[in-house]
A and B are shown apart, each in its own frame.
Chain A
Amino acid sequence: MPACTRVRWAVVSATSVALMATGCGGGGGSGSGPSDASKTFTYQSSEPQNPLQPANANETGGGRIVQNLFKGLADYDPSNGKLRMQAADKIDSSDAQTYNVTLKSGWTFHDGTAVTAKSFVDAWNWAANTKNNQINSSWFADIQGYSDVHPSSGNPTTDTMSGLTVQDDTHFTIKLNNKVSYFPYKLGYVAFSPLPEGFYKDPAGYGQKPVGNGPYQFVSWDHNSQVVTKTFANYQGVDKPKNGGVVFKMYTTAEAAYADLQSNNLDVMDQVPPSALANYKNDLGDRAIDAPQGAIQNVGFTLYQPDWQGADKAKVRQGLSMAIDRNTITKTVLQGSRAPASAWVAEGVEGYKAGTCGDFCTYNVDKAKQLIQEGGGVPGNSLKITYNADGGHKEWVDAVCNSIRQATGVNCAGDPKTDFKTARAAITGHQINGMFRTGWVQDYPLNANFLADVYRTGAASNDTGYSSPEFDKLASEADQAASIQDTATGYQKAEEQLANDMPAIPLWYYRTNSGYSTKVQNVAFDSFGNPAWTQVEVKS
């Protein structure tokens, strides 16, 4: 290994291709070998920010732990992102509004109690209830009666949603407010997990010591240090663990985790630090991972400001999009950690269609100038891109601005806000005028998630204030489609409307840049940026 590191330093200073080529590939003994299903592996994580309750885990630190401790009706196949049944035997509907759920039998929680229809219905009612302060409570908003347990203000009038009915131990029905053809896709989200009876006696204490029904069961939570899990022997899911458990090790910096990975003290990384992006493939050889992620980076426009309204301004926005040299920026500034975007939906997602943005996402200086001129120019001939300074965005924001300035002569500058929460407050409070950094990480791998949740009129995360009757019409048509396939095609049509209006400029798709130690094998990442946990094998 010392020789490797010396090469690494040389690459840093010289950035020489020849040195990279002669660098130490292989990374040392990573061939496949026999594995031991009783051994655990460690994963780079961060201290959960909320109690470990399924509907309260929306950040990655707690989210990935809860995902492993719980398993809902369905989840997404890590290899292709398609929906697959887990606790549910089938979820069917004739009208996309009433869903009949049939559970598999034999599923139990880690404490031995059975997973029944009631375990799901009670858990959802509890999570949706305003009184219980669950961060993901809005996930249940599609279900009939949600507004009774979660009124926009004041106390709930009842404890149960009228849309949920238990038939017997293995059957229940879900009635929705409107037709949502892709509702089963939402059910793969961890907020829809079941909860055991014991939970309701002490939800807070349970959040520190959760009992779930997933492939792994909770062993201990050593705060700020690690969360230990072990394989649940009676797990009935289709993805039986090939290892003995996952130990989530808390790191405050990715640099520390990377140092541990290199010295085999950490088995699987979440994401390599930016400082290692240039060399990690060299350092790790075939243990390096570079996989697509279901996440996109955009810059949005403040369409709610008079400066950006009117049909002409759409041309200006299209022109600005063409003035951004995505290929060069992703290769140089972002060191290949992103892939240029050609649509508003991320790669690898069900319904993804490359090139929806078409020429508007292709760098073309002449066309960019022409479109901006036709549209009457950028107001004041100057632009600001608001972003949060704590997220490592400065480099690419400056690069995008440079690209725009050089191509079109429009003055462009970054407008950094101290941190994420300050930037969010400025964006949602409509206190800015111009462009802002925005992005979307999939909740579920379906194009509807990237479109309906962000661009529909009045959608909760519609930060641009975009409102297009055509888009809304196409989106609701897609919602009423008979199958997931038709929904995806319907949303592809809606997405085409975005190219005409350009409410936000798609920049690039995220990628998972990660790696693993010599102690594990068969590590593959899904589009959520998570490894296929249960498939990781620990060498014996």
Chain B
Amino acid sequence: MGHYILRRVLQMIPVFFGATLLIFLMVYSLPGDPIAAMFGDKAADPATVANLKHQYYLDQPLWKQYLHYMNNILHLDFGTSFTGRPVSEIMKDAFPVTIRLALVAFFFEIVIGLPLGLIAGLKRGSIADTLVLLITLIVISIPVFVLGYIAQTVFAINLGWVTATVQDSRDITQLILPGLVLASLSLAYVARLTRTSIGENLRADYMRTAVAKGLPRRTVIGRHLLRNSLIPVVTFLGTDLGALMGGAIVTEGIFNIAGVGNVLYRAINQKEGPTVVGIVTVLVIVYLVASLVVDLLYAVLDPRIRYA
């Protein structure tokens, strides 16, 4: 087990370098000059542009810029944004907000998605099953921004139950509505995945054995059925947590949440290299760690899986 983890962590190193290089190249190959764009419709003053380019290391050839950037990162210096704020500070502000939002969404996925899938899977063909299938189909087919605006109009503007946007991103109760919207799509997938998985396992040999042994129904479902059926769901949830962290740009925009998606969107628009590369690098690491944790969880859920 220890060896396995070590090997996986070592594998992360080339992935980390490859990912940062790719992102770096992509950001810097974006068209347009970010420094000249700071001057807006007015003509850029050449002396100031030259100076600013020098300050942000943009006057060097690309490979030198990359080496300079990587060297700084190894010293845990993520550079500074055009506002003069260290990127590490920007991330320190944005990540907790997004983590909170992702956890709220994640919570709904499990608390709503799993039971829905369980009910539908156990009672296949029943009204409850059909209803779950219908609801999840609707949710999957509606784009998240439509869902977001509808939720905002209905719950905030019409009913007045919540504020239209998040007034304080640190307040978790305000994140419930955006969290639900963000969770909706994955929630539907979780429900459907659980339903299919349970449906399949209900017919498995070990289930027949467990029932024949005369075990109580609760034990049969809880210990045998659910535990075996959760393996594909856990895989999905694990990768989804990574996606929730970086992919909430639309939801964060609608509800005006000062999270990673928001900051990333603004930084890409301004072609603010250090901020984009820094945030995406961290997201890559989050994704790698999440998938490692998922793999380890397999072993917990299914004793037949052994890592060496």
* In the complex, per-residue mask of A100-133: 1 if CB is within 8 Å of any chain B CB, else 0: 0000000000000000000000000000001101
* In the complex, per-residue mask of A130-150: 1 if CB is within 8 Å of any chain B CB, else 0: 110111011000000000001
Chain A: minimal CB distance from B207 (Å): 50
Question: Is there contact, CB below 8 Å, between B82 and A265?
Answer: no
Q: A224-B94, A256-B253 are in contact. Are A58 and B83 (CB under 8 A)?
A: no
Question: Is there contact, CB below 8 Å, between B41 and A440?
Answer: yes
| Interface members, chain B 133-162 (any A CB < 8 Å) | 149, 152-153, 156-160
- Interface: B42 (CB within 8 A): yes
Across the interface, A424 reaches (CB within 8 A) one of B37, B48, B169, namely: B37
| Interface members, chain B 4-47 (any A CB < 8 Å) | 31-34, 36-43, 45-47
Chain B residues closer than 8 Å to A153, beta-carbon distance: 46-47, 50
Question: Is there contact, CB below 8 Å, between B254 and A253?
Answer: yes
Chain B residues closer than 8 Å to A251, beta-carbon distance: 165, 256
- Interface: B219 (CB within 8 A): no
A422 to B30, CA, bound (A): 9
Chain B: minimal CB distance from A55 (Å): 10
Chain A residues closer than 8 Å to B157, beta-carbon distance: 1, 5, 259, 262-263
Chain A residues closer than 8 Å to B40, beta-carbon distance: 58-59
Across the interface, B254 reaches (CB within 8 A) one of A47, A225, A255, namely: A255
Q: A50-B83, A260-B165 are in contact. Are A130 and B48 (CB under 8 A)?
A: yes
A262 to B154, CA, bound (A): 12
- Interface: B258 (CB within 8 A): yes
- Interface: A204 (CB within 8 A): yes
Question: Is there contact, CB below 8 Å, between B265 and A424?
Answer: no
| Interface members, chain A 254-303 (any B CB < 8 Å) | 255-257, 259-260, 262-263, 265
A204 to B159, CA, bound (A): 46
Chain B: minimal CB distance from A192 (Å): 16
Chain A minimum-CB-distance residue to B153? A5
A263 to B255, CA, bound (A): 13
Across the interface, A224 reaches (CB within 8 A) one of B37, B149, B165, B258, namely: B258
Chain A residues closer than 8 Å to B34, beta-carbon distance: 421
- Interface: B72 (CB within 8 A): no
Across the interface, B33 reaches (CB within 8 A) one of A138, A390, A425, namely: A425
A179 to B32, CA, bound (A): 37
- Interface: A250 (CB within 8 A): yes
Q: A135-B48, A152-B46, A224-B94 are in contact. Are A265 and B32 (CB under 8 A)?
A: no
Across the interface, A134 reaches (CB within 8 A) one of B48, B82, B165, namely: B48
Interface centre among B93, B158, B253, B263 (most CB of A within 10 A): B158
Chain A minimum-CB-distance residue to B252? A252
Chain A residues closer than 8 Å to B112, beta-carbon distance: none
A428 to B153, CA, bound (A): 43
Chain A minimum-CB-distance residue to B51? A133
Chain B residues closer than 8 Å to A200, beta-carbon distance: none
A224 to B85, CA, bound (A): 12
A150 to B51, CA, bound (A): 11
- Interface: A441 (CB within 8 A): yes
Chain A residues closer than 8 Å to B149, beta-carbon distance: 255
Chain B residues closer than 8 Å to A151, beta-carbon distance: 47
Question: Is there contact, CB below 8 Å, between A133 and B39?
Answer: no
Q: A58-B39, A253-B256, A256-B253 are in contact. Are A425 and B48 (CB under 8 A)?
A: no
Question: Is there contact, CB below 8 Å, between B84 and A51?
Answer: yes
Chain B: minimal CB distance from A101 (Å): 25
Chain A minimum-CB-distance residue to B38? A135
Chain B: minimal CB distance from A386 (Å): 13
Question: Is there contact, CB below 8 Å, between B164 and A135?
Answer: no
Chain B minimum-CB-distance residue to A419? B32
Chain A residues closer than 8 Å to B41, beta-carbon distance: 424, 438-441, 461
- Interface: A177 (CB within 8 A): no
Chain A: minimal CB distance from B252 (Å): 8
- Interface: B52 (CB within 8 A): yes
Chain A residues closer than 8 Å to B52, beta-carbon distance: 133
| Interface members, chain A 216-260 (any B CB < 8 Å) | 223-225, 250-253, 255-257, 259-260
Interface magnitude class on chain A: 35 or more
- Interface: A49 (CB within 8 A): yes
- Interface: A354 (CB within 8 A): no
- Stretch from B60-68, B191-199, B266-274, B281-289 at the A interface: B266-274
Across the interface, A259 reaches (CB within 8 A) one of B42, B90, B165, namely: B165
- Interface: A460 (CB within 8 A): yes
* In the complex, per-residue mask of A143-170: 1 if CB is within 8 Å of any chain B CB, else 0: 0000000111100000000000000000
Chain B residues closer than 8 Å to A424, beta-carbon distance: 32, 36-37, 41
Question: Is there contact, CB below 8 Å, between A265 and B165?
Answer: yes
Chain B residues closer than 8 Å to A441, beta-carbon distance: 41
Chain B minimum-CB-distance residue to A251? B256
Chain A residues closer than 8 Å to B258, beta-carbon distance: 223-225, 250
Chain A minimum-CB-distance residue to B250? A253
Chain B minimum-CB-distance residue to A225? B258
Chain A residues closer than 8 Å to B156, beta-carbon distance: 259, 263
A58 to B41, CA, bound (A): 10
Across the interface, B255 reaches (CB within 8 A) one of A48, A256, A421, A438, namely: A256
- Interface: B186 (CB within 8 A): no
Question: Is there contact, CB below 8 Å, between B266 and A252?
Answer: yes
Question: Is there contact, CB below 8 Å, between A223 and B85?
Answer: yes
A439 to B163, CA, bound (A): 37
Interface centre among B90, B153, B164 (most CB of A within 10 A): B164
Q: A48-B83, A421-B36 are in contact. Are A256 and B254 (CB under 8 A)?
A: yes
Chain A residues closer than 8 Å to B71, beta-carbon distance: none
- Interface: B173 (CB within 8 A): no
Question: Is there contact, CB below 8 Å, between B43 and A425?
Answer: no
- Interface: A375 (CB within 8 A): no
Question: Is there contact, CB below 8 Å, between B93 and A133?
Answer: no
A350 to B264, CA, bound (A): 42
Across the interface, A130 reaches (CB within 8 A) one of B51, B83, B153, B160, namely: B51
Across the interface, A207 reaches (CB within 8 A) one of B84, B153, B168, namely: B84
Chain B minimum-CB-distance residue to A265? B163
Question: Is there contact, CB below 8 Å, between A259 and B164?
Answer: yes
A231 to B269, CA, bound (A): 34
Chain B residues closer than 8 Å to A47, beta-carbon distance: 83, 266
- Interface: A31 (CB within 8 A): no
Q: A256-B164, A439-B41 are in contact. Are A223 and B93 (CB under 8 A)?
A: yes
Chain B minimum-CB-distance residue to A131? B51
* In the complex, per-residue mask of A189-226: 1 if CB is within 8 Å of any chain B CB, else 0: 00000000000000010011000000000000001110
- Interface: A500 (CB within 8 A): no
| Interface members, chain B 227-284 (any A CB < 8 Å) | 252-256, 258, 262-263, 265-266, 269-271
Chain B: minimal CB distance from A504 (Å): 13
Chain B residues closer than 8 Å to A255, beta-carbon distance: 149, 254
Question: Is there contact, CB below 8 Å, between A50 and B82?
Answer: yes
List chain A positions with a Cβ less than 8 A from chain B: 1-2, 5, 47-51, 58-59, 130-131, 133-135, 137-138, 150-153, 204, 207-208, 223-225, 250-253, 255-257, 259-260, 262-263, 265, 390, 417-422, 424-425, 428, 438-441, 460-461
Q: What would 11 more interface pairs be, CB under 8 Å, given A419-B269, A428-B43?
A: A5-B158, A49-B83, A58-B38, A208-B84, A251-B256, A252-B266, A260-B256, A263-B163, A421-B271, A425-B32, A425-B33
Nearest 8 pairs of A and B residues by beta carbon:
A421-B32, A460-B43, A421-B37, A259-B164, A224-B258, A256-B256, A422-B32, A422-B31
11 A-B Cβ contacts within 8 A? Answer: A130-B51, A137-B48, A138-B45, A151-B47, A224-B263, A224-B266, A252-B262, A263-B157, A263-B163, A428-B43, A440-B41
